[in-house]
Structure 1
Amino acid sequence: MDNAILSTARGYSLVAGSRAFVRACLDSGIDEARVRFLRYARRLAYANPSVMAVSMEHPPRWQSWRSPREVHPESNTAQQLHLMESFVERALSAPQFVLSWLSARSQALDDGERLHGRFETLMNEVFYVLDDYPSDPALREDGDISEEELREHVDETLRRSRSLD
């Protein structure tokens, strides 16, 4: 067997196998599952120290970041922030920014990078506003935001996220 799910009568499960299998079994990513298990292990540490030992052998790859200052410089989230700054400084066109930012976001999610609190909300707002910006001018409709409105929104998001530091 390459993959397995073991469940207890109390509703706890252990998922093991390939990265693709484990990811498909989880509702929120591998790192989030590891964080949840660590919290669970801490509650049980007094009664069963081996649970804590197992948890410590499988720590999350990334910590949850509450501000841009906390973001690991080699992360995809750092890349998203850099792309936002480049776009605001007009070093990137809107279509370049949209494509690159969405790619970095997707990779951040795949890698289990986690944001927390207001910082997560601000970065999600960028994602949502990108949905209102058609990169292809032929697809533009009434109510869609312009490139300049997108730039203003990204600039405002950067300003607000810096205030979290």
Structure 2
Amino acid sequence: MPWKNGGGTTTEIAVHPQGASLDAFDWRISMAHVGGDGPFSSFPGVDRTLAVLRGDGIRLALSDGETITLDRQTEPFAFAADRSVAGQLVAGPIDDLNVMSRRGGWAHAMWRLTGPGPHALDAGAGLLVLVAHAGDWKVTEASRTEALAPGDSALLEGPAKVELSAAEADGELFVISLLPLA
């Protein structure tokens, strides 16, 4: 689907409520291909986290003068989506993973897991969204095990205790925690 500002396209992974528009979601997870420099779309009342999946990175210039460079090794970066942000590609196009949640209604966090594991997670009262980026992953909850290949995603509702492991030492998976605040 097109970006809100028309500057590119994005692939939606999950949105709540299902089918919500770009102006009406409670939370949204997507991947985007960024092929050129330019401003980010503004989302009033929304918090956003961004991680680079492919490419050499992007420099973000935020309205208060803060600048940050994101690449495949940096931690995901959280910022207010109603803040004015301009992106400048470091050396060619990138693909990114983007999480947004409506401030006051939902809170989110995103982090990267690497290596074979095992990694133990607790979904608590919220949701966990797993996005496999590299390697084949096993997701075990209680006595049930599912496989995630690169590009696969899974949504787990809490309470749930999950163990994750990758078949390869260079496995990479992003974990997104979503917590309702109301």
TM-score tier, shorter chain, comes to under 0.3
TM-score relative to the length of structure 2: 0.24
Greater strand share, structure number:
2
Look at both structures and tell me which one has the larger radius of gyration over its CA atoms: 1
TM-score relative to the length of structure 1: 0.25
